[in-house]
């Protein structure tokens, strides 16, 4: 049975300051993300026990728990890699920085980088309760789309691959930004690692037959 593990941060706790404080990074990674990893592993064990005992009374709750914790683990694993220090990140993806393919895809899918930035910011900042704003590759159309993900797993197009994620849960910003989610989302653009986003876009685009649809 696969066991999920908490990935190491690609930088130290202070690397994203002043956009995100070291205290938030430590708590977010070491406590919250770790809890999703544990939750996914615990749920897999409980499902295995249910199969062994042919006891299916809790299957509905277990399947929901697995979707929640596993999606939380996956999105957070992308989130850490999607960011880099303010001196190296942020701005707009440009061809001269080696991310021209991504930049062109954003223009084709949204009309302009400014339009894309506004849509993703609005999606992240207006999540009701807890959720994410996500830039994803959609394989049926071959274009990029913005998704507003509730919790970690709701309201998602099947088959899409997330390549840039903005965490809009309160634990991602409240210690520093209080209830000003809009301010946090705006600040996030200073630490986007476009090199990582571009690599994810290229990998997602290169995958074929992701969705086997009936002719």
- Of the candidates 160, 112, 103, 110, the residue with the CA atom closest to the CA atom of residue 134: 160
> φ and ψ at 66, to 5 degrees?
-65, -45
Q: Note the pTM of the prediction, 2 decimals.
A: 0.95
pLDDT > 90: what percent of the chain? 93
The residues pairing with 133 across neighbouring beta strands, listed in sequence order, are 148, 166
Determine if residue 76 is labeled as part of a ligand binding site.
Answer: yes
Write down the pLDDT at residue 197.
Answer: 98
Q: Where in the chain are the domains?
A: 22-82, 95-206
Q: How many CB atoms lie within 10 A of CB 206?
A: 7
Write down the pLDDT at residue 207.
Answer: 85
CATH classification (class only), 22-82: mainly alpha
The CATH number corresponding to 95-206 among 3.55.40.20, 3.40.50.261, 3.40.50.1980, 3.40.50.620 equals 3.55.40.20
Q: How many CB atoms lie within 10 A of CB 164?
A: 27
> φ and ψ at 128, to 5 degrees?
-85, 110
Determine if residue 171 is labeled as part of a ligand binding site.
Answer: yes
Quick: pLDDT tens for 139-173.
Answer: 999 999 999 999 999 999 999 999 999 999 999 99
Instruction: Locate 67 and state its tokens.
Output: 């979707």
Determine if residue 28 is labeled as part of a ligand binding site.
Answer: yes
Task: Please report how many Cα atoms fall inside a 13 Å half-sphere around the Cα of residue 12, on the Cβ side.
Answer: 1
Quick: pLDDT tens for 37-47.
Answer: 999 999 999 99
What is the rounded distance in angstroms from the CA atom of residue 124 to the CA atom of residue 111?
20
């Amino acid at each position: 049975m696969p066991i999920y593990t908490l990935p190491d941060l690609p930088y130290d706790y202070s690397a994203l300051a002043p956009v995100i404080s070291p205290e938030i990074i430590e708590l977010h990674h070491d406590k919250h993300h770790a809890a999703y990893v544990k939750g996914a592993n615990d749920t897999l064990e409980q499902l295995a026990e249910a199969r062994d005992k042919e006891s299916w009374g809790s299957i509905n709750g277990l399947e929901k728990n697995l979707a929640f914790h596993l999606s939380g683990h996956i999105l957070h694993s992308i989130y850490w890699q999607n960011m880099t220090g303010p001196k190296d990140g942020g701005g707009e993806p440009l061809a001269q920085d080696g991310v021209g393919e991504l930049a062109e895809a954003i223009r084709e899918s949204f009309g302009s980088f400014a339009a894309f930035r506004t849509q993703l910011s609005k999606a992240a900042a207006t999540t009701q309760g807890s959720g994410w704003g996500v830039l994803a590759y959609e394989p049926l159309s071959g274009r990029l789309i913005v998704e507003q993900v509730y919790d970690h797993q709701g309201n998602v197009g099947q088959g899409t691959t997330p390549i840039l994620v903005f965490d809009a849960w309160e634990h991602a910003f409240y210690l520093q930004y209080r209830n000003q989610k809009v301010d946090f989302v705006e600040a996030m653009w200073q630490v986007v690692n476009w090199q990582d986003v571009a690599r994810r876009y290229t990998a997602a685009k290169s995958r074929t037959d992701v969705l086997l649809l009936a002719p």
